[in-house]
Amino acid sequence: MACVRKGQAKEGYGVKEYQKVILLVFPRLEKLISEIGQCVEARARSSFNGRQSAEECIEGILKLVYAKDAFLVLREKAEKVYAQLTQEERYMLEYKYFRRKKKLEGEFANVRCDCCERTYYRRQRRLNVRLNSLFLRAGMSEEWFVKTFSDVPYVMGLWEKVRSTGENSVLDKRARTELHVSDAPQAAGLR
């Protein structure tokens, strides 16, 4: 059995694909919840002149309500996990997964990772291990994820894309911002 140094992540204990999906969906939760609510209301109002039977219309509305409830539960659990992170960890998470330019330039404008590029990647690995642990302690296992989101096509499609091509295929349209690191010359290549 391989020896693991203190602070070094064991292979397989980092963020899993379903957890990456949670992280990718997290900044969009408020918008998703709001839009689903609007869609439910619109479907209910227009149900009288639709081509679907009343039963099909109700089934569609119930699927949307279930998706909204699943996102509400996810928001509650994810916010508890996010609250347990340090400011630097939240910054690194924001930079890697969320890329909300307003947050990076506002809340995290004065945050700097006092490290070189190599240390930054080590810290990201440690953060991945910590996130995995926090997700599991919050009851957000893969079984919970599948049970909760199996009927939500948006999330299942995103999970399949992350599993097949990685999270970078989903992150390619994110805002381009610079990572705030120390003035070390090797840190200039981070993007």
* Residue 27 near residue 100 (C-beta atoms within 8 A): yes
User: For residue 67, with 0-12 CB atoms within 10 Å meaning exposed, 13-18 middle and 19 or more buried, which class applies?
Assistant: buried
Domain regions of the chain by residue span: 17-165
- pLDDT value of residue 136: 94
- pLDDT value of residue 112: 65
The residue-averaged pLDDT of 118-130 equals 85
Q: How confident is the model at residue 168 (pLDDT cuts 50, 70, 90)?
A: low
Angle between helix 142-149 and 17-25 (nearest 10) = 50
Q: How confident is the model at residue 109 (pLDDT cuts 50, 70, 90)?
A: low
Percent of the chain predicted with pLDDT > 70: 72
Residues 27-72: pLDDT tens digits? 889 999 999 999 999 888 887 777 888 888 899 999 999 999 999 9
Mean pLDDT of the chain: 79
Closest CA to 82 of 121, 34, 140, 123: 140
Q: How confident is the model at residue 96 (pLDDT cuts 50, 70, 90)?
A: confident
- pLDDT value of residue 185: 41
Q: Which of 84 and 178 is assigned the larger pLDDT?
A: 84
- pLDDT value of residue 4: 40
Residue 156 has pLDDT above 50, yes or no: yes
- pLDDT value of residue 146: 96
- pLDDT value of residue 147: 96
- pLDDT value of residue 40: 92
- pLDDT value of residue 171: 65
- pLDDT value of residue 118: 77
